[in-house]
Structure 1
Amino acid sequence: MFFIGVFGIGNKNKNLGEVNFKCTGCIGEKFSLVELSRSFDIFFIPVFKYSKEYIIVCNKCRSVYKVKGEKIPKILNTKIVEYDDIEKIILETNTCPHCGTSIAGEYLYCPKCGKSLK
Protein backbone atom coordinates (compact mmCIF):
# COMPACT_ATOMS: atom_id res chain seq x y z
CA MET A 1 0.00 0.00 0.00
CA PHE A 2 1.30 3.44 -0.93
CA PHE A 3 0.17 6.55 0.99
CA ILE A 4 0.71 10.28 0.53
CA GLY A 5 -0.75 12.09 3.53
CA VAL A 6 -4.29 10.77 3.97
CA PHE A 7 -4.68 9.36 0.43
CA GLY A 8 -3.30 6.08 -0.84
CA ILE A 9 -3.40 3.31 -3.39
CA GLY A 10 -3.70 -0.31 -2.31
CA ASN A 11 -3.92 -3.80 -3.76
CA LYS A 12 -6.92 -5.96 -2.91
CA ASN A 13 -7.37 -9.72 -3.37
CA LYS A 14 -10.87 -11.18 -2.98
CA ASN A 15 -11.59 -14.90 -3.15
CA LEU A 16 -14.82 -15.39 -5.15
CA GLY A 17 -15.17 -19.09 -4.45
CA GLU A 18 -14.28 -22.45 -5.93
CA VAL A 19 -14.69 -23.30 -9.63
CA ASN A 20 -14.06 -26.35 -11.80
CA PHE A 21 -11.42 -26.37 -14.55
CA LYS A 22 -9.15 -29.09 -15.96
CA CYS A 23 -5.58 -28.06 -15.01
CA THR A 24 -3.00 -28.56 -17.74
CA GLY A 25 -0.23 -29.04 -15.17
CA CYS A 26 -1.61 -31.69 -12.82
CA ILE A 27 -5.04 -32.59 -14.24
CA GLY A 28 -6.69 -31.39 -11.00
CA GLU A 29 -10.18 -29.91 -11.28
CA LYS A 30 -10.65 -27.70 -8.20
CA PHE A 31 -9.61 -24.05 -8.52
CA SER A 32 -10.02 -20.85 -6.51
CA LEU A 33 -11.38 -17.83 -8.42
CA VAL A 34 -9.69 -14.62 -7.22
CA GLU A 35 -10.42 -10.97 -8.05
CA LEU A 36 -7.29 -8.77 -8.08
CA SER A 37 -7.90 -5.03 -7.95
CA ARG A 38 -6.33 -1.73 -7.06
CA SER A 39 -8.15 0.66 -4.73
CA PHE A 40 -8.02 4.34 -3.92
CA ASP A 41 -7.97 4.69 -0.11
CA ILE A 42 -8.53 7.53 2.33
CA PHE A 43 -7.20 6.81 5.83
CA PHE A 44 -6.84 3.09 4.95
CA ILE A 45 -10.52 2.91 3.91
CA PRO A 46 -11.08 1.86 0.28
CA VAL A 47 -13.15 4.48 -1.56
CA PHE A 48 -13.31 2.79 -4.99
CA LYS A 49 -11.73 -0.11 -6.87
CA TYR A 50 -10.20 0.04 -10.32
CA SER A 51 -8.07 -2.13 -12.62
CA LYS A 52 -9.86 -5.42 -11.85
CA GLU A 53 -8.37 -8.69 -13.08
CA TYR A 54 -9.49 -12.24 -12.43
CA ILE A 55 -7.33 -15.33 -11.98
CA ILE A 56 -7.91 -18.96 -11.10
CA VAL A 57 -5.41 -20.87 -8.96
CA CYS A 58 -5.20 -24.67 -8.94
CA ASN A 59 -5.75 -25.99 -5.42
CA LYS A 60 -3.44 -28.96 -6.11
CA CYS A 61 -0.37 -27.64 -8.01
CA ARG A 62 -0.83 -23.84 -7.60
CA SER A 63 -0.82 -23.17 -11.39
CA VAL A 64 -2.26 -19.70 -12.19
CA TYR A 65 -4.43 -18.75 -15.18
CA LYS A 66 -5.77 -15.29 -16.10
CA VAL A 67 -9.50 -15.30 -16.94
CA LYS A 68 -11.15 -13.01 -19.51
CA GLY A 69 -13.09 -10.30 -17.65
CA GLU A 70 -16.18 -10.56 -19.84
CA LYS A 71 -16.56 -14.26 -18.92
CA ILE A 72 -16.83 -13.66 -15.14
CA PRO A 73 -20.68 -13.41 -14.91
CA LYS A 74 -21.01 -16.79 -16.71
CA ILE A 75 -18.33 -18.36 -14.50
CA LEU A 76 -19.96 -17.09 -11.30
CA ASN A 77 -23.32 -18.58 -12.38
CA THR A 78 -22.06 -21.99 -13.55
CA LYS A 79 -18.92 -22.39 -11.36
CA ILE A 80 -17.23 -23.89 -14.46
CA VAL A 81 -14.27 -22.42 -16.38
CA GLU A 82 -13.63 -23.57 -19.94
CA TYR A 83 -10.45 -23.27 -21.99
CA ASP A 84 -12.05 -20.49 -24.09
CA ASP A 85 -12.48 -18.43 -20.88
CA ILE A 86 -8.71 -18.32 -20.27
CA GLU A 87 -6.82 -15.26 -21.51
CA LYS A 88 -3.33 -16.55 -20.71
CA ILE A 89 -1.36 -18.94 -18.53
CA ILE A 90 0.53 -16.98 -15.88
CA LEU A 91 2.25 -19.90 -14.12
CA GLU A 92 2.02 -23.57 -15.00
CA THR A 93 3.46 -26.11 -12.63
CA ASN A 94 3.83 -29.70 -13.79
CA THR A 95 3.15 -32.27 -11.09
CA CYS A 96 2.78 -36.02 -11.09
CA PRO A 97 -0.93 -36.93 -10.99
CA HIS A 98 -0.08 -40.02 -8.91
CA CYS A 99 2.26 -38.78 -6.16
CA GLY A 100 2.05 -34.97 -6.48
CA THR A 101 5.79 -34.38 -7.00
CA SER A 102 6.70 -31.15 -8.82
CA ILE A 103 8.45 -31.97 -12.08
CA ALA A 104 10.79 -29.66 -13.98
CA GLY A 105 11.44 -30.69 -17.56
CA GLU A 106 9.92 -33.00 -20.15
CA TYR A 107 9.72 -36.42 -18.54
CA LEU A 108 7.63 -39.38 -19.69
CA TYR A 109 7.76 -40.99 -16.24
CA CYS A 110 7.79 -39.47 -12.77
CA PRO A 111 11.34 -39.36 -11.32
CA LYS A 112 9.98 -40.16 -7.83
CA CYS A 113 7.31 -42.84 -8.25
CA GLY A 114 8.14 -44.07 -11.77
CA LYS A 115 4.54 -43.98 -13.08
CA SER A 116 3.65 -42.65 -16.54
CA LEU A 117 2.93 -38.91 -16.78
CA LYS A 118 0.73 -39.25 -19.88
Structure 2
Amino acid sequence: MIFFFGITNGQKELDFHQQMTCDLCGRMGHYRVFMTYMVLSIFFIPVFKWGRTYYVETSCCGSVYELRPETGRAIEYGENVTIRQEDLYLRQKGSNVRERKVSKICYNCGYETSEDFEFCPKCGRAFES
Protein backbone atom coordinates (compact mmCIF):
# COMPACT_ATOMS: atom_id res chain seq x y z
CA MET A 1 0.00 0.00 0.00
CA ILE A 2 1.32 3.43 -0.94
CA PHE A 3 0.78 6.49 1.25
CA PHE A 4 1.02 10.01 -0.08
CA PHE A 5 1.64 12.43 2.75
CA GLY A 6 3.36 15.72 3.20
CA ILE A 7 4.03 18.57 5.59
CA THR A 8 3.70 22.09 4.23
CA ASN A 9 3.37 25.69 5.37
CA GLY A 10 0.00 27.37 5.12
CA GLN A 11 -1.20 30.96 5.34
CA LYS A 12 -4.75 32.22 5.79
CA GLU A 13 -6.01 35.81 5.81
CA LEU A 14 -8.54 36.43 8.59
CA ASP A 15 -11.67 38.56 8.22
CA PHE A 16 -10.85 41.57 10.41
CA HIS A 17 -11.30 45.32 9.91
CA GLN A 18 -9.93 48.01 12.24
CA GLN A 19 -8.67 51.49 11.47
CA MET A 20 -5.60 52.78 13.27
CA THR A 21 -2.97 55.49 13.42
CA CYS A 22 0.46 53.97 12.93
CA ASP A 23 3.00 54.56 15.71
CA LEU A 24 5.88 54.20 13.25
CA CYS A 25 4.92 56.42 10.31
CA GLY A 26 2.12 58.51 11.87
CA ARG A 27 -0.35 57.89 9.04
CA MET A 28 -3.88 56.48 9.10
CA GLY A 29 -4.38 52.93 7.88
CA HIS A 30 -5.95 49.62 8.77
CA TYR A 31 -4.77 46.24 10.02
CA ARG A 32 -4.57 43.13 7.82
CA VAL A 33 -4.54 40.03 10.05
CA PHE A 34 -3.31 36.65 8.84
CA MET A 35 -2.05 33.43 10.37
CA THR A 36 0.66 31.00 9.34
CA TYR A 37 0.70 27.33 10.29
CA MET A 38 2.10 23.91 9.45
CA VAL A 39 -0.24 21.29 8.00
CA LEU A 40 -0.02 17.51 7.60
CA SER A 41 -1.74 16.22 4.46
CA ILE A 42 -2.56 12.60 3.66
CA PHE A 43 -3.56 11.89 0.07
CA PHE A 44 -3.52 15.69 -0.49
CA ILE A 45 -6.21 16.21 2.19
CA PRO A 46 -5.23 18.47 5.13
CA VAL A 47 -5.56 16.40 8.30
CA PHE A 48 -3.81 18.25 11.12
CA LYS A 49 -2.68 21.87 11.66
CA TRP A 50 -0.18 23.03 14.26
CA GLY A 51 2.23 25.87 15.01
CA ARG A 52 -0.25 28.66 14.40
CA THR A 53 1.23 32.15 14.54
CA TYR A 54 -0.84 35.30 14.03
CA TYR A 55 0.50 38.40 12.29
CA VAL A 56 -0.75 41.92 11.62
CA GLU A 57 0.35 44.02 8.65
CA THR A 58 -0.36 47.75 8.48
CA SER A 59 -1.72 49.19 5.23
CA CYS A 60 0.03 52.56 5.66
CA CYS A 61 3.69 51.53 5.78
CA GLY A 62 3.64 47.73 5.55
CA SER A 63 5.09 47.07 9.01
CA VAL A 64 4.54 43.53 10.31
CA TYR A 65 3.72 42.72 13.93
CA GLU A 66 3.29 39.39 15.68
CA LEU A 67 -0.10 39.25 17.40
CA ARG A 68 -0.73 37.71 20.82
CA PRO A 69 -2.10 34.16 20.31
CA GLU A 70 -5.19 34.79 22.48
CA THR A 71 -6.18 37.82 20.39
CA GLY A 72 -5.44 35.99 17.14
CA ARG A 73 -7.61 33.01 18.12
CA ALA A 74 -10.46 35.33 19.06
CA ILE A 75 -10.26 36.97 15.61
CA GLU A 76 -10.08 33.55 13.93
CA TYR A 77 -13.26 32.44 15.73
CA GLY A 78 -15.09 35.61 14.65
CA GLU A 79 -15.27 37.34 18.03
CA ASN A 80 -15.51 41.14 18.21
CA VAL A 81 -11.96 42.19 19.15
CA THR A 82 -10.06 45.47 19.20
CA ILE A 83 -6.32 45.17 18.68
CA ARG A 84 -4.37 47.23 21.22
CA GLN A 85 -0.72 48.23 21.06
CA GLU A 86 0.03 45.80 23.93
CA ASP A 87 -1.14 42.90 21.72
CA LEU A 88 1.50 43.63 19.07
CA TYR A 89 5.22 42.81 18.87
CA LEU A 90 7.13 44.49 16.02
CA ARG A 91 8.75 41.95 13.69
CA GLN A 92 9.61 44.08 10.66
CA LYS A 93 9.47 47.81 9.95
CA GLY A 94 7.74 48.67 6.72
CA SER A 95 9.55 50.03 3.70
CA ASN A 96 7.65 53.33 3.84
CA VAL A 97 8.69 54.18 7.41
CA ARG A 98 10.67 57.41 7.51
CA GLU A 99 12.58 58.51 10.55
CA ARG A 100 10.77 61.52 11.91
CA LYS A 101 13.01 64.60 11.99
CA VAL A 102 12.21 66.89 14.90
CA SER A 103 13.18 70.47 14.19
CA LYS A 104 11.31 72.38 16.90
CA ILE A 105 10.41 71.62 20.51
CA CYS A 106 8.05 73.76 22.59
CA TYR A 107 9.73 74.48 25.91
CA ASN A 108 6.37 75.22 27.52
CA CYS A 109 4.46 71.96 26.83
CA GLY A 110 7.10 69.67 25.23
CA TYR A 111 5.35 69.36 21.84
CA GLU A 112 7.73 68.22 19.04
CA THR A 113 7.22 69.07 15.36
CA SER A 114 9.09 69.00 12.08
CA GLU A 115 6.79 71.62 10.52
CA ASP A 116 7.83 75.25 10.12
CA PHE A 117 5.45 76.72 12.70
CA GLU A 118 6.12 79.99 14.50
CA PHE A 119 3.74 79.09 17.34
CA CYS A 120 3.10 75.79 19.10
CA PRO A 121 -0.13 74.18 17.78
CA LYS A 122 -0.77 72.63 21.20
CA CYS A 123 -0.36 75.51 23.66
CA GLY A 124 -0.03 78.60 21.42
CA ARG A 125 3.32 79.85 22.70
CA ALA A 126 5.98 81.08 20.28
CA PHE A 127 8.78 78.66 19.42
CA GLU A 128 12.21 79.91 20.51
CA SER A 129 14.84 80.12 17.80
**TM-score when normalising by structure 1:** 0.68
Query: Secondary structure in 1 aligned to 2:24?
Result: coil
Partner of residue 25, structure 1: 24
1:25–1:94 contact (8 Å) kept in structure 2: no
Larger Rg: 2
Tell me how far apart the structure 2 counterparts of residues 53 and 17 of structure 1 sit (CA, whole Å): 16
For these two proteins, the number of residue pairs brought into alignment is 99
2:71–2:81 contact (8 Å) kept in structure 1: no
Query: Secondary structure in 2 aligned to 1:51?
Result: strand
Change (3 A) 1:73 1:63: same
Amino acid corresponding to residue 39 of structure 1 in structure 2: V
2:35–2:55 contact (8 Å) kept in structure 1: yes
Tell me how far apart the structure 2 counterparts of residues 69 and 44 of structure 1 sit (CA, whole Å): 28
Partner of residue 78, structure 1: 80
Partner of residue 93, structure 2: 92
Please list, as runs of the form range in 1=range in 2, the aligned pairs for 1:61-72 lying within 5 A after superposition.
Answer: 61-72=61-72
Unaligned runs of 5+ in 2: 103-112, 116-129
2:6–2:42 contact (8 Å) kept in structure 1: yes
Question: What percent identity do the matched residue pairs reach?
Answer: 26
2:33–2:57 contact (8 Å) kept in structure 1: yes
2:32–2:57 contact (8 Å) kept in structure 1: yes
* RMSD after superposition: 2.6
Please list, as runs of the form range in 1=range in 2, the aligned pairs for 1:1-118 lying within 5 A after superposition.
Answer: 6-20=4-18, 21-26=20-25, 27-75=27-75, 76-86=78-88, 88-93=89-94, 95=96, 102-103=97-98, 106-108=99-101, 116=114
**TM-score when normalising by structure 2:** 0.63
Amino acid corresponding to residue 101 of structure 2 in structure 1: L
1:6-59 deviation line (CA, Å, top 9, x unaligned): 111111111112332442222333011101111001233211110001001112
Unaligned runs of 5+ in 1: 96-101, 110-114
Query: How far apart are residue 90 of structure 1 and its match?
Result: 0.6
Partner of residue 99, structure 1: none
Tell me how far apart the structure 2 counterparts of residues 94 and 51 of structure 1 sit (CA, whole Å): 28
Partner of residue 112, structure 1: none
